[in-house]
């Protein structure tokens, strides 16, 4: 089912979390205290995620080089959707060259606490970990010669510089989170 994310709730305090990669490495939002953070809810099987995975990896490299942390969370019920199983997450991340941790939300508590709606669902946080962006990776309808306006990249750079996100945001859209 195709869904759009809600309008950004500017200043919403992001709930903390600690999750593991499929390999068992632990990552927490609090590991990035005092830094802007992009948290993205993605999965392996969603065609919307597959379509942007390489661009997400490329933009994440730019952001990480600029001191912005990036974390990806997979909240789908992978038992009902085996394409999203942890072993497949490792393969998906390697295939697309993810430079960021891809974390398993085993009990779906993080996805629920964050109000994740779809995959991909992007949450751009300022250094105080307050929401400043909830929009698309890019907007192909308003692009340059490549046809791409890097909405997320521009927004996260603005958040890092000013602490505030752009007021004009285009909602992300994708497949619904697969709740158990």
pLDDT at residue 145, rounded to an integer: 52
Please report, in angstroms and rounded to a whole number, the separation of the first and last CA atoms in the chain: 16
Domain parsing of the chain, residue ranges: 2-176
- Pairing verdict, β 69-74 and 121-125: unpaired
CA 81/CA 96 separation, integer angstroms: 20
Pick the CATH number of 2-176 from 3.40.50.720, 3.40.30.10, 3.30.530.20, 3.90.850.10: 3.40.30.10
What pLDDT is stored for residue 5 in this prediction?
85
Residues of the chain with pLDDT under 70: 1, 139-148
Asked if residue 72 lies in contact with residue 64, where contact means CB atoms within 8 angstroms, the answer is: no
């Amino acid at each position: 089912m195709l869904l759009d994310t809600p309008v950004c709730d500017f200043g919403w305090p992001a709930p903390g979390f600690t999750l593991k990669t499929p390999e068992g490495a632990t990552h927490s939002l609090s590991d990035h205290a005092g830094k802007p953070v992009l948290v993205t809810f993605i999965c392996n099987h969603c065609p919307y995620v597959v379509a942007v995975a390489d661009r997400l990896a490329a933009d994440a490299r730019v952001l990480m080089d600029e001191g912005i942390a990036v974390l990806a969370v997979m909240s789908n019920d992978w038992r009902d959707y085996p394409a999203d199983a942890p072993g497949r997450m490792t393969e998906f991340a390697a295939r697309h060259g993810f430079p960021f941790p891809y974390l398993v939300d085993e009990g779906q508590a993080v996805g629920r606490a964050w109000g994740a709606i779809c995959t991909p669902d992007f949450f751009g946080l300022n250094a105080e970990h307050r929401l400043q962006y909830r929009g698309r990776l890019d907007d192909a309808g308003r692009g340059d010669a490549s046809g791409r306006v890097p909405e997320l990249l521009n927004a996260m750079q603005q958040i890092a510089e000013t602490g505030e996100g752009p007021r004009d945001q285009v909602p992300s859209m994708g497949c619904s989170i697969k709740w158990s």
